[in-house]
Amino acid sequence: MGGKNCAVHETQASVSSCAQCGKNLCKSCVMVTPGGTFCSSECSVLHRELKGHGRPAKKSSGGAMRAAVFMLLLAAAAFLVHLAPMTTGKPYDVIGLILNQNLLPLR
């Protein structure tokens, strides 16, 4: 640890530090767990509770954000189509245009 001494045994060189509180620890003070090295069981428990039981947080893929942005853009496009007749002065009737083109052959 580069010349640092233990927080409890000031004459002993530190070999690690507590993952929760950051105290420097010598080899007789260090408590090694699967979650890291700690100075006490209290720090170990606190660290586990604060960090979600030692599991890293799962990152979101952003799918919900993409869907929200898509819906927002779709709503904006629909609003702009709604405003189009107001800018040209002519009515904008999509259904009437489709029906007047006689797209379906009559027999």
Q: What is the pLDDT of residues 11-55, one digit of tens each?
A: 999 999 999 999 999 999 999 998 889 999 899 888 888 876 545
Q: Is residue 107 part of a domain?
A: no
Separation between Cα atoms, residue 53 and residue 40, nearest integer Å: 17
Reported confidence tier of residue 58, pLDDT bands at 50, 70, 90: low
pLDDT at 105 over 80: no
Q: Is residue 30 part of a domain?
A: yes
Q: Is residue 70 part of a domain?
A: yes
pTM: 0.46
Number of separate domains in the chain:
2
User: Is pLDDT larger for residue 88 or for residue 51?
Assistant: 51
Q: Are residues 46 and 71 in the same domain?
A: no
Q: Are residues 7 and 25 in the same domain?
A: yes
**Domain around 72:** 63-100
User: Comparing C-alpha atoms, which of 27, 28, 11, 30 is closest to residue 19?
Assistant: 30
Q: Is residue 25 part of a domain?
A: yes
pLDDT at 71 over 90: yes
| Residue labelled with tokens 């009559």 | 106
Q: Are residues 3 and 49 in the same domain?
A: yes
Q: Is residue 105 part of a domain?
A: no
What is the predicted pLDDT for the residue at 54?
A: 47
